[in-house]
C-alpha cells in the first residue's frame, strides 16, 4: 500500500471498515507516526543539527495494574490487543495493559467519538470499548522479587532501582544527534551509552549538567573512537521523541543481592517528551528472555517464572515438560526522566577518586564486564 493511500485510510477511518479488508487502522497514527496530542503547543525549535545529551535521572517501576486507571509503562511488542481472557494468539494467556502515555498502543473498537474526533486522545478504558496492547510484566517480576526476599522487607525493589539511577551508581546517557527541531524532526540519531560519573557528592543525576565518561564496556580497546554503543534512528513528532533499537540493549537493574544485573532487552524502544532542558513522561519497553529473569530473581520454581511470561518466542510460551524447560519472553516497561548532562570523551573502568561510585555487578555480569567496581548497597 502506498504512503498516500495509507494516510487516506487513516483520515477516513470513520467511513471505512478497513484499508485492505483486515484490521481497521489505528486512528492514533498517521503514516505510521504516532501523534502525541491534538492540542499540544510545539516547543521552540533548536539550532539545526544540534546534539543533546541527557542522563536518565529517574526510573519508575509502576504498580501491578489492577484496573485501567493505573499508568502502565511499556509498548505493544507482539502487535496484539489481548483482553482479560488472554486468548489472543502469542499472548501466553496474559491480558495486555492500557497505555495512558502513548495512545497508539491502545485500540479503540469504535474509533471515533460522538464529536467525530479520534477517541485515542481520551482516557482509554475497557468500559469505553477500548483495549490496551502494552506487554509489561515487570511489575509482576518486581512483586515476585519482593515475595521471595522477605528479609529485605516489603516494597524495597522499586525504590532501590530508582535510587540506582538517581544516585549515579549505574549511569545511562542518551545522546541525541542531528536535532533540527524539538517540535518536528523526521530523523535523529539516538545513542544509548553506559557511563561512569565524574562528579562527587551529592550524587544526584537530577541536578543537571553533571559530567560523565564512557564506561570501558562501551568502547573497544579503550578507544573512544571505537564505540560499542547502541545507536538507532528515531524521530520527533509533536515534541515527543520515539526510537526503537534493532540490537539488544543492556538495561541496568538489580538482583536479589542488590547488585547490578544487566538485562539484555530485545525490541527495545522508548518515547519521551523532549525539550532542551529536560525529558518528561518517558516510556521504555522491550522484551527479555526468561533466563534473564531467572538470573535476576535467583532460584525459583519453573511455575513462578512461567507466570511472568507474556510473549511467545520461537513458538513457545512455557514448556515445562522439556529438559531444561523452554520459555518465551517477558515484556518489560518502566517510566523515566531525562536531565541534561555532559559526556566527556574519556574511557574509564571505574569513576575517579571522590566521584559517585558504581554499584557492584552481579557475578554473571562481572565475569564478562570490566566495570565490576564494588560500591555500597542499600
Q: pLDDT of 121-180, one tens digit each? A: 556 666 566 778 889 988 888 888 888 776 666 678 888 899 999 999 999 999 999 999
SS3 for 319? strand
Interatomic CA distance for residues 25 and 22, integer angstroms: 9
One-character DSSP codes across 153-184? -TT-HHHHHHHHHHTTSS-EEEEEEEE--SS-
Q: Look at residue 67 and tell me whether its pLDDT is greater than 60.
A: no
pLDDT band at 113 (very low <50, low <70, confident <90, very high): low
**pLDDT: is 353 or 98 the higher one?**
353
What does the pLDDT read at residue 10?
28
Q: Look at residue 355 and tell me whether its pLDDT is greater than 80.
A: yes
Q: Which of 336, 355, 50 is nearest to 212 (CA)?
A: 355
What does the pLDDT read at residue 7?
30
Q: Look at residue 41 and tell me whether its pLDDT is greater than 60.
A: no
Query: Which residues lie below 8 Å from residue 301, measured CB to CB, with a gap of 6+?
Result: none
What does the pLDDT read at residue 18?
31
**pLDDT: is 230 or 59 the higher one?**
59
DSSP, res 309: -
- List the chain domain ranges: 47-302+331-366
Cell digits of residue 125: 478504558
Taking the CA atoms of 127, 133, 136 and 137 in sequence, report the sign of the dihedral they define: positive
| Residue position matching grid coordinates 555500597 | 376
pLDDT band at 22 (very low <50, low <70, confident <90, very high): very low
Cell digits of residue 30: 498517521
Residue range 173-201: mean pLDDT, rounded: 94
pLDDT band at 368 (very low <50, low <70, confident <90, very high): very low
Burial 108-147 (b: 16+ CB within 10 A, else e): beebeeeeeebbbbeebeeeeebbbbbbbbbbbbbbbbbe
**Beta-sheet pairing, 240-244 with 260-274:** antiparallel
What does the pLDDT read at residue 51?
94
pLDDT band at 64 (very low <50, low <70, confident <90, very high): confident
Give yes or no for a contact between 75 and 333, defined as CB atoms under 8 angstroms apart: yes
pLDDT band at 39 (very low <50, low <70, confident <90, very high): very low
Q: Look at residue 229 and tell me whether its pLDDT is greater than 80.
A: no
Residues making up the chain, counted from first to last = 378
What does the pLDDT read at residue 314?
87
DSSP, res 14: G
Interatomic CA distance for residues 375 and 195, integer angstroms: 16
- State pLDDT tens for residues 267-303: 999 999 999 899 999 999 999 988 777 766 666 666 6
Tell me the pLDDT of the chain averaged across its residues: 76
Amino acid at each position: 500500500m502506498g504512503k498516500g493511500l495509507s494516510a487516506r485510510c487513516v483520515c477516513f477511518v470513520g467511513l471505512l471498515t478497513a484499508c485492505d479488508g483486515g484490521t481497521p487502522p489505528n486512528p492514533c497514527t498517521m503514516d505510521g507516526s504516532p501523534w502525541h496530542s491534538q492540542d499540544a503547543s510545539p516547543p521552540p525549535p533548536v539550532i539545526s543539527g544540534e546534539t543533546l545529551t541527557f542522563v536518565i535521572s529517574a526510573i519508575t517501576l509502576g504498580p501491578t495494574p489492577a484496573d485501567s486507571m493505573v499508568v502502565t509503562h511499556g509498548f505493544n511488542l507482539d502487535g496484539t490487543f489481548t483482553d482479560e481472557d488472554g486468548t489472543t494468539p502469542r499472548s501466553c494467556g496474559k491480558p495486555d495493559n492500557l497505555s495512558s502515555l502513548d495512545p497508539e498502543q491502545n485500540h479503540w473498537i469504535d474509533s471515533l467519538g460522538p464529536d467525530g474526533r479520534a477517541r485515542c486522545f481520551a482516557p482509554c478504558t475497557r468500559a469505553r470499548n477500548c483495549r490496551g496492547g502494552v506487554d509489561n510484566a515487570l511489575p509482576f517480576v518486581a512483586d515476585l522479587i519482593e515475595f521471595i526476599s522477605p528479609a529485605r522487607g516489603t516494597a524495597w525493589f522499586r525504590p532501590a532501582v530508582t535510587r540506582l539511577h538517581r544516585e549515579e551508581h549505574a549511569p545511562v546517557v542518551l545522546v541525541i544527534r542531528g536535532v533540527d527541531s524539538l517540535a518536528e524532526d523526521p530523523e535523529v540519531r539516538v545513542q544509548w551509552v553506559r557511563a561512569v560519573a565524574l562528579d562527587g557528592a551529592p550524587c544526584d543525576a537530577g541536578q543537571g549538567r553533571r559530567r560523565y565518561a564512557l564506561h570501558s564496556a562501551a568502547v573497544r580497546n579503550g578507544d573512544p573512537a571505537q564505540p560499542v554503543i547502541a545507536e538507532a534512528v528515531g524521530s520527533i513528532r509533536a515534541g515527543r521523541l520515539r526510537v526503537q533499537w534493532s540490537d539488544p540493549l543492556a538495561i541496568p537493574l538489580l538482583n536479589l543481592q542488590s547488585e547490578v544485573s544487566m538485562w539484555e532487552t530485545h525490541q527495545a524502544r522508548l518515547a519521551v517528551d523532549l525539550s532542551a532542558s529536560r525529558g518528561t513522561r518517558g516510556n521504555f519497553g522491550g522484551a527479555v528472555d526468561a533466563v534473564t529473569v531467572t538470573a535476576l530473581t535467583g532460584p525459583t520454581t519453573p511455575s513462578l517464572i512461567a507466570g511472568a511470561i507474556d510473549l511467545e518466542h520461537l513458538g513457545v510460551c512455557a514448556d515445562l515438560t522439556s529438559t531444561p524447560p523452554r520459555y518465551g519472553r517477558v515484556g518489560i516497561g518502566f517510566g523515566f526522566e531525562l536531565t541534561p548532562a555532559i559526556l566527556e570523551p574519556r574511557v574509564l573502568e571505574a569513576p575517579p577518586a571522590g566521584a559517585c561510585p558504581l554499584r557492584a555487578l552481579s557475578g554473571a555480569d562481572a565475569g564478562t564486564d570490566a566495570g565490576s567496581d564494588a560500591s555500597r548497597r542499600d
